Every structure is written in C-alpha cells, then in structure tokens.
Homo-oligomer: A and B are copies of this chain.
Amino acid sequence: MDTRDRQKRMRKASPVAPVGMAMPSWPQRVSFCVPGMVADGNGGCVSALCAARTHPLVDQASNEKLAKYERMVQERFDDIVPTLKRISALQHETDFETRAQQIARERLGFELPAAVLADAWVTTLDMRRLYGTSVLRTFLELARETCTQTCDSDAEVEAMTRFFIECGFHEVDVSACADGRLKGLLQYILRLPQQAVPRHKSYAGTLFDVELNVKQWAETELHRFREGLPTLPDSGTRYLKIAVYHFSSSDPLHEGCAAHGSNDREAAQAALDRLHAFSTAIENGFCCGASVATLLIGVDTDNDAIRVHIPDALGDMSLDCYVDNIALYQATAECAQSDALWRLGATVEEAAQQHGRSTPETGMRRLIERLLTHNLSQIDYVCTNHQGRYADIGHAERFISIGDGFDKVHLRNLAYIGHMHTVEEGAADLDVGIKIFTRLNVARGLPVPIAIHYRYDGQVPGSRGRTVTRCRRVKAAIEARYPDLMRAGWLVCGMTVQAKKPGSELETVADNDMDRHGH
C-alpha cells in the first residue's frame, strides 16, 4: 500500500483556483479557500474531507490507469478550440484547405469536412459546423481506438460476474440519472466492468421505464429456463436492480438533480418508488414467488462518494438508513489495512442497527461491502486528482448523447445523456440538455453537438435498417423542435448505430432521405 503525506498529495493536485476566484498572486492562506476546502500548504486548496494520506484500501494501479485515461480524453477535447482558432486565422490564405487539413490531421488526428473548408471563401469559415463535427468526431475516434487504457479484460468481467452470482445475483441492472456527472458511474465511481453490467441506462431523474424493465427481466429469466444461463432456474439467485440518484454536498440546493428541483430527498424517493414499482410488477405479474432484489445508491457529484441504502432482511429500504462512504473513508483513512477492512465489515450492520432495522442477506451485504470498497478508491482518486472536489461541480458536458447511450468512453461530464426512443417522449429531457448547452456553449459562440446513437440486434432481420430509420427520425424531430437554433447553425447532429453484440464498432449514419413506408 502506497502511503504519502498530505504535502505530497497536494503537490500532485493541479493548481486550479477555487471556482469564482482569480489565482491570487500572494502566498495562499486558509481563508482564501471556499468553504469546505482548506489550504494544501502548497498554494492550492483541497477538500477538508480528504485524508492526508492514501486510503489503505485503494487500488492504486487502477487509479493511475484511470487518471491517465481521463487526462488523455480531456486533452483531446481541449485541443479542438485552439486548433480551430489556428485554422481560422489561415482562412484567407491561398493554400488554406491543404494547410487546414494538415493542421487538423496533426493536432486532432482526423480531417475536417472538406466541403466546409471549400466554402470558406464565399463568406467566412463555418466555425460552428467545424466545432460541432470535431467534437463528435473526437468522440468517435476515442471510441474506436483499442481500449488499452480502460477496457476491462475478459478475466475481470468474468470474475465480477462470478462474484455477483456468489452474492446471489445472476444479473445486475443499473439505472442512473441522465446527468452527465454520472457518466463515469460504472468505470470510475463504482469500478464495475461494464460488460458485467450489460443493462445500464440513464433516465432523467432516475425515472426508468418500469414496463420495459419487466419485459427485459422476462427475457433474462427465459434464458435461465431455456439455457440454464447465467444460472439454473432453481439456483435461488435473483435479478438485482440498482437505481442511482445524485446530489451535491457543497451546493445541495442548486447542483443536485434538476429533474427533482435539486431536492435530494425527492430524488431518492422517486428512485425508490420506481424500484418498488418494478419489484411489485414482477411479484404481481408472475406467480410462484417471482421476485427481484433492489438496491438504492446516491452519488455526491462533488466528489463521487456514494451512499448505499441498506435493505433489511426482507429487502425493504428507507431513505434514512444508509452507509455514507465519505464518512467510512474518513474513519478508515488513517487505519492499517486490516483495521480498515474490519471497520468496513461492521458498517452495514451498524447502519441497520442504528435505525432499528434488520440486516440484509449475506450476499447483499457482501455486494454492498464490495461497492463501498470500490468507491473508496474513487474518493481517493478525486482527492488526488481533483482536490477532493471537482472544479466543475456543475455541468461541463462536451456534447449531448441522445438514444441508447454509448458503451464506450465513459467519463464524468463527458456527455449529457437523454435515453429516449422518441423526442416526443423525451422532450423534457432534451429541453434540459439544450438549456444546459445554451449556457455552456451557445453563450460562448459554440454550437451544441448532439450524438444520436441507437443499437440494433444483428440477429434480427431488418433490425439495422429500422434502427437507421429511427436515427434519422429522431434527428428530424430534434431539428424540428429547435428551429431557431437550427437555422442559425447552433445544432450539429451526428448519427451512429452499433450492433448489440459486445465489442461491436460504431457505424456512422449518413443524412440520406428517410426510407420509411408511407401509407
């Protein structure tokens, strides 16, 4: 276990001034840090919640790998504006197109749309279009690169799937809020290999689709009965549904979940209600003791710390009975590893007892302890790499992701996610996304990049074609919904489809006419 003193941790932290303050030119003192942050003795501030040394249970190798990946991704997006600025400065020179493409290739790794460059002489370079397509293209390139940095090995996936089954869960299905700050939920916050959690979708306010989820559950169960996979039907394992809401500890009234008016309790209750509806639907709709397990988790989007609501022996949860992982982190950061493990092993029972409730089944308890451990690494990660509190505690997404969501390139605040099949149903979610990007981008003269993405089943004849049609229909509906933005070039949409098979590539969809059936 790597240990370091606070001094060392603080030197690693990048010297970013607290939000809303210019970098002071005199030596820093405690009083210059925003509330909740303290001087790190090295000219910067760090969250008062961070321990002075690395937590004994941290997976250091994984933290380093993830930090490297985060830096790489952020740099790739950060390169876009300076590159386009440089190209813009050349637009009236004679060999503009050639030089522009050369710069783009060198600095961004891809060429810009030739037509946009060729048209520059008529009026001026369409920078909105170039910016929008560059953001979407950067994402595509990242998604296509062999994922040596973050992809989980088959062995890791298999080990985690086996662990879930040992805990009594043959499938783990996670629904989170669409908020971009949860975009790193699996890879960073919970440290779960994505392929071990095949169903993970985002819905504004964690309001997942109960009826659809029942159908998905039925498919999983049918596979067990027909094929004995992933477990035999009489193995006693269950389908586990996890719902994830979020809140902001440093600015709870503004930076919490917008779908619930930044009201933590309301956000948590709404997610709990959906879990209850889901399990009731299955108990009522299928006989003979059909049941699922459920788990409610909250995420503090300031520092990625989770709180896990502890189910009682019957699986019931309450809003008040949870393990707060930041408290566990603080209580165990200075311990020896064995002591930290001992404290971790007692925390679930303590939380239950404190609220006069029974303790969960052994398997559920084991799973919770594992999730808490994983998240300790992430808390430490944020302390090391982001001063224990993200500089962008609010929205700072790069683009809007509409549709089925991407299974590649996961990172906090990478994208605002609107999981929807139609704009008609998802209009409220989409409006929020546009509102966020009007502030983030349009106000700065940049357009809103929208990545429309749907997945098809290669085993179903015609599925790809229908999915392409859906992409185009949704694009048309988005463009129809914001005619003013559209006219002024503030919306740049890209479309991709992808087979459902794990590891399949993103395929870009062209802007052709819809080949839909008229009546």
Q: Residues of B contacting A64 with CB < 8 Å?
A: none
Q: Residues of B contacting A226 with CB < 8 Å?
A: 221, 225, 286-288, 290
Given A207-B517, A460-B280, A225 and B223 contact (CB-CB distance below 8 Å): no
- 29 of the cross-chain contacts (CB-CB < 8 Å) are A205-B519, A210-B460, A210-B466, A214-B460, A215-B215, A215-B219, A221-B222, A223-B286, A225-B225, A225-B233, A226-B286, A226-B287, A259-B517, A259-B518, A273-B461, A277-B462, A280-B459, A280-B460, A281-B459, A281-B461, A285-B457, A285-B459, A422-B422, A422-B424, A423-B424, A424-B424, A428-B519, A431-B519, A432-B519
Q: Residues of B contacting A518 with CB < 8 Å?
A: 259, 428, 432
Say yes or no: A460 contacts B519, CB within 8 Å: no
Could you mark each residue 266-290 of chain A with 1 if its beta carbon is under 8 Å from any beta carbon of chain B, else 0?
0000000110110011001111101
- Those of A435-473 within 8 Å (CB) of chain B: 457, 459-463, 466, 473
Say yes or no: A460 contacts B285, CB within 8 Å: yes
Could you tell me the distance between the alpha carbons of A190 and B368 in the complex, rounded to whole angstroms? 56
Does A204 interact with chain B (Cβ within 8 Å)? yes
Residue of B nearest to A427 (CB): B473
Could you tell me the distance between the alpha carbons of A499 and B5 in the complex, rounded to whole angstroms? 64
Does A227 interact with chain B (Cβ within 8 Å)? yes
Say yes or no: A211 contacts B460, CB within 8 Å: yes
Q: How many residues of A are in contact with the other chain, CB < 8 A? A: 55
Say yes or no: A462 contacts B273, CB within 8 Å: yes
Does A85 interact with chain B (Cβ within 8 Å)? no
Residue of B nearest to A430 (CB): B519
Does A487 interact with chain B (Cβ within 8 Å)? no
Does A93 interact with chain B (Cβ within 8 Å)? no
* A286: min CB distance to chain B, Å: 6
Q: Residues of B contacting A432 with CB < 8 Å?
A: 518-519
- Those of A214-238 within 8 Å (CB) of chain B: 214-216, 218-219, 221-223, 225-227, 233
- Those of A340-360 within 8 Å (CB) of chain B: none
Given A226-B288, A422-B422, A519-B432, A460 and B207 contact (CB-CB distance below 8 Å): no
Does A95 interact with chain B (Cβ within 8 Å)? no
Could you tell me the distance between the alpha carbons of A304 and B13 in the complex, rounded to whole angstroms? 78
* A96: min CB distance to chain B, Å: 42
Q: Residues of B contacting A302 with CB < 8 Å?
A: none
Could you mark each residue 231-249 of chain A with 1 if its beta carbon is under 8 Å from any beta carbon of chain B, else 0?
0010000000000000000
Could you tell me the distance between the alpha carbons of A212 and B290 in the complex, rounded to whole angstroms? 22
Which 8 pairs show the lowest CB-CB distances between chains A and B? A432-B519, A284-B459, A225-B225, A281-B460, A277-B461, A422-B424, A215-B215, A424-B424
Could you tell me the distance between the alpha carbons of A404 and B431 in the complex, rounded to whole angstroms? 28
* A471: min CB distance to chain B, Å: 13
Could you tell me the distance between the alpha carbons of A273 and B463 in the complex, rounded to whole angstroms? 12
Could you tell me the distance between the alpha carbons of A207 and B518 in the complex, rounded to whole angstroms? 11
Does A90 interact with chain B (Cβ within 8 Å)? no
Q: Residues of B contacting A423 with CB < 8 Å?
A: 424
Q: Residues of B contacting A120 with CB < 8 Å?
A: none
Could you tell me the distance between the alpha carbons of A80 and B518 in the complex, rounded to whole angstroms? 33
* A209: min CB distance to chain B, Å: 9
Partner of A218, one of B210, B218, B460, B477: B218
Q: Residues of B contacting A221 with CB < 8 Å?
A: 222, 225-226
